[in-house]
């Protein structure tokens, strides 16, 4: 597929109005996307677990209009929201070539998250994928030809990517790869469900998100990705991501949890190392992030456990562990890690199957 293949050519513009609703989850990368080229093309491949509980629910109501400008209003958790509009405006500008009906309708976007707004959990992956899926449902209702499910999902992921790169990995579950590579079926243009074998050790894998810092991010992802231009370690980092993805593919098939832990933690620390060694440089971890990491390492050594951590571009810690350790690790989190979270706050989640249409 090339980008031009996603341009909608013929559609029925007689439809006056309609409404659709989708819920779409967040995802957590195991091999990180960090650095992008023009048009939201990633510098390196990434793979993520799709989550279940952390999601965005978006209803899109569309009404035919005469004027040819973009027209939309946004409601977040029931209240009119102006703050989200610029990001959606940019999204519309990036995708209009592929969904030309954008200018034919007025859109009412009503959206909410299952996780608290000020939790420091990025809602761009779940939010942009939910909106992209809603637009695909509009496309389906206007389309003069049948839109096959595979094409629907592929294009939803393609559009979501243009909103926020990691959002393209939120359409499906349970593992999604984005970015061309030698090890898996892949594309730079959209996320693809991981096509390799997955050992039962990874079934219902758990992710408990420790909310260390609920504040605004110190560096937006967009700024962060730009710091990879001219970064002294960029080429080595991109090559390492390919290598880690190849290794992870083997690990996912064999169920080798010890190697899984090493790859995932190294990826998280490398992501932060990239930020610490860019110009300007940033430290996004907080003292409590390090407290938690050290506690996890101690617990793992003392309990013969396979619990590990990963990080996004922020201070919060994702604690990953197999389902059969759920009871013991949750106890450990409550007793020893919750004290390092803001107001003791954490969110329990697990690997999920992807977005869902609400009828
Ligand atoms: C650190 O997808 O938020 O979470 O494409 O600029 O919207 P934009 O960036 P975004 O970057 C996420 C980066 C990451 C790692 C990852 O999810 O792979």
Residue nearest to atom 3 of ligand 1 (CA): 221
Among the atoms of ligand 1, which is closest to the Cα of residue 125?
2
Among the atoms of ligand 1, which is closest to the Cα of residue 124?
3
Q: Contact 100/139 with Cβ under 8 angstroms?
A: no
Structure tokens at 86: 């610029």
- Interstrand relation of 192-193 and 206-210 (parallel, antiparallel or unpaired): unpaired
CATH of region 203-350: 3.30.70.890
pLDDT in tens, 333-344: 999 999 999 999
Scored b (16 or more CB within 10 A) or e, 9-19 reads: eebeeeeeeee
Distance 13 CA to ligand 1 centre (A): 35
Longest dimension (CA), the chain: 68
Query: Quick one: which of 323, 324, 174, 175 has its CA closest to 248?
Result: 175
Distance 345 CA to ligand 1 centre (A): 23
Residue of 24, 32, 33 with the most ligand 1 atoms within 8 Å of its CB, for mutation: 33
Cα–Cα distances (Å) from 111 to 22, 72, 124, 354, in that order, read: 10, 13, 12, 18
Structure tokens at 296: 């996890």
Among the atoms of ligand 1, which is closest to the Cα of residue 163?
7
Distance 292 CA to ligand 1 centre (A): 23
Distance 141 CA to ligand 1 centre (A): 31
pLDDT value of residue 247: 98
Among the atoms of ligand 1, which is closest to the Cα of residue 36?
5
What residues flank ligand 1, with Cβ below 6 Å? 29, 32-34, 40, 46, 122, 124, 164-166, 221-222, 225, 271, 312-313
Q: Is the model's pLDDT at 7 over the cut of 90?
A: yes
Distance 67 CA to ligand 1 centre (A): 35
Phi, psi of 235 (to 5 degrees): -60, -45
Q: Is the model's pLDDT at 94 over the cut of 90?
A: yes
d(CA 34, CA 53): 25
Element (H, E) at 73: strand 71-76
Share of the chain above pLDDT 70, in %: 99
Residue of 127, 221, 237, 285 with the most ligand 1 atoms within 8 Å of its CB, for mutation: 221
| Angle formed by the axes of helices 85-95 and 149-163, nearest 10° | 130
What's the mean per-residue pLDDT of the chain?
Answer: 96
Among the atoms of ligand 1, which is closest to the Cα of residue 271?
1
CATH architecture of the domain 3-195 equals 2-Layer Sandwich (3.30)
Residue nearest to atom 7 of ligand 1 (CA): 164
Structure tokens at 5: 């293949």
Q: Is the model's pLDDT at 305 over the cut of 80?
A: yes
User: Is residue 292 very low, low, confident or very high in pLDDT (cuts 50, 70, 90)?
Assistant: very high
d(CA 100, CA 95): 8
Among the atoms of ligand 1, which is closest to the Cα of residue 28?
17
Q: Is-above-0.95 flag for pTM?
A: yes
Q: Where are the domains of the chain?
A: 3-195, 203-350
Q: Is 60 helix (H, G, I), strand (E, B) or coil?
A: strand
- Interstrand relation of 346-350 and 46-64 (parallel, antiparallel or unpaired): unpaired
Q: Which residues contact 174 (CB under 8 A, 6 or more apart)?
A: 49, 50, 194, 198, 351, 352, 353, 354
Distance 331 CA to ligand 1 centre (A): 31
pLDDT in tens, 36-83: 999 999 999 999 999 999 999 999 999 999 998 999 999 999 999 999
Structure tokens at 12: 């029925």
pLDDT in tens, 232-264: 999 999 999 999 999 999 999 999 999 999 999
- Rounded mean pLDDT, 31-37: 98
pLDDT in tens, 112-138: 999 877 666 778 999 999 999 999 999
Q: Is 296 helix (H, G, I), strand (E, B) or coil?
A: helix
Residue of 126, 165, 318 with the most ligand 1 atoms within 8 Å of its CB, for mutation: 165
Phi, psi of 64 (to 5 degrees): -60, 140
| Angle formed by the axes of helices 149-163 and 124-142, nearest 10° | 130
Among the atoms of ligand 1, which is closest to the Cα of residue 31?
18
pLDDT value of residue 266: 98
Helices (H), 37-115: 85-95
Query: Quick one: which of 272, 290, 292 has its CA closest to 282?
Result: 272
d(CA 264, CA 308): 8
Q: Which residues contact 165 (CB under 8 A, 6 or more apart)?
A: 33, 36, 40, 42, 178, 221, 225
- Rounded mean pLDDT, 150-158: 98
């Amino acid at each position: 597929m090339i980008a031009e293949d996603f341009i909608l050519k013929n559609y029925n513009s007689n439809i006056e109005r309609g409404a659709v609703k989708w819920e779409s989850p967040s995802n957590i990368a195991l091999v990180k996307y960090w650095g992008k080229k023009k048009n939201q093309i990633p510098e390196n491949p990434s793979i993520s677990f799709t989550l279940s509980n952390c999601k965005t629910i978006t209803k899109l109501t569309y009404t035919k209009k005469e004027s040819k400008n973009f027209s939309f209003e946004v409601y977040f958790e029931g209240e009119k929201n102006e703050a989200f509009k610029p990001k959606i405006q940019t999204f519309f500008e990036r995708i209009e070539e592929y969904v030309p009906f954008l200018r034919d309708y007025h859109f009412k976007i009503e959206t909410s998250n299952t996780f608290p707004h000020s939790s420091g959990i990025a809602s761009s992956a779940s939010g942009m994928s939910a909106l992209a899926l809603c637009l695909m449902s509009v496309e389906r209702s206007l389309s003069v030809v049948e839109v096959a499910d595979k094409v629907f999902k592929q294009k939803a992921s393609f559009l979501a990517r243009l909103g926020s790169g990691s959002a393209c990995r939120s359409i499906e579950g349970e593992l999604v790869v984005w970015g061309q590579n030698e090890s898996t079926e892949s594309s730079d243009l959209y996320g693809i469900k991981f096509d390799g074998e997955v050992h039962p050790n990874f079934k219902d894998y758990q992710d408990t998100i420790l909310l260390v810092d609920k504040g605004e991010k110190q560096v937006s992802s967009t700024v962060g990705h730009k710091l990879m231009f001219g970064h002294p370690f960029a080429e080595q980092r991109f090559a390492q991501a390919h290598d880690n993805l190849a290794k992870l593919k083997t690990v996912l098939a064999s169920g080798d949890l010890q190697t899984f832990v090493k790859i995932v933690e190294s990826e998280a620390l490398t992501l932060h190392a990239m930020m610490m060694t860019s110009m300007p440089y940033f430290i996004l971890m907080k003292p409590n992030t390090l407290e938690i990491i050290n506690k996890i390492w101690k617990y793992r050594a003392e309990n013969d456990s396979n619990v590990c951590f990963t990080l996004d571009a922020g201070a919060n810690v994702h604690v990953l562990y197999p389902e059969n350790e759920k009871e013991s690790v949750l106890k450990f989190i409550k007793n020893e890690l919750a004290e390092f979270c803001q107001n003791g706050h954490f969110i329990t989640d697990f690997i999920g199957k992807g977005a869902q249409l609400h009828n």
